[in-house]
Amino acid sequence: MLVLKKAPHFSSPAVINGEEIVEDFSLDQYIGKQHVVFFFYPKDFTFVCPTELWAFQEKMEEFKKRNVAVVACSTDTEETHLAWLSTSKDKGGIEGVQYPIVADTAKTIATNFGIIPGYMDFDDEGNAIFEGAPIALRASFLIDKEGIVRHQVVNDFPLGRNIDEMIRMIDALQYVEKHGEVCPANWEEGKEAMQATKEGVSSYLASH
């Protein structure tokens, strides 16, 4: 688990603005400036994955309002990312997605984030084999302006994530940072928070 730890550093190729390949993309550019939602998905040109990438794109105004950068990553190449971004939605593509998509072809980023569901091993003849699936799980990380992971969630391959829940977690984190209070179960923007004291908890529970 990475919560309360520094997000692992990387510098890797990525496609930005849906059309341009850069060779040395890093999350370091957001340090001190923006919160970041960094999410992994298994593979380009698959089935659940485009629904998720589109769901993030459709909520981009909500992320921008909160000064949050969204960055995606999979173990596909940057050329495959670009091809997928050049394919229309009605053909299973993600043309129109604008946030960066990182290429983790060496699988080092996903490994450092702890979301490759398998490991390298050797058979009886000394040949390298991989036990498990050598692609990223559906993992999302909410990283604060200091580069610290404050929230993470990891789904199995068939289980698509809830983008509205990520926005709720952003609201909670930003509320805590601004007000110093804590957010109870099912908290949403506009609802009452509470003081992290016995008296604060008692008062909150008594009023609910």
Catalytic center residues: 49
Pairing of strands 68-74, 101-103: parallel
SS3 12: strand
Tokens at 103, concatenated? 């290429």
CB 112 within 8 A of CB 2: no
d(Cα 35, Cα 45) in Å, to the nearest integer? 28
b/e sequence 84-121, b meaning 16+ C-beta within 10 Å: bbebeeeeebbeebebbbbbbeeeebbbebebbbeeee
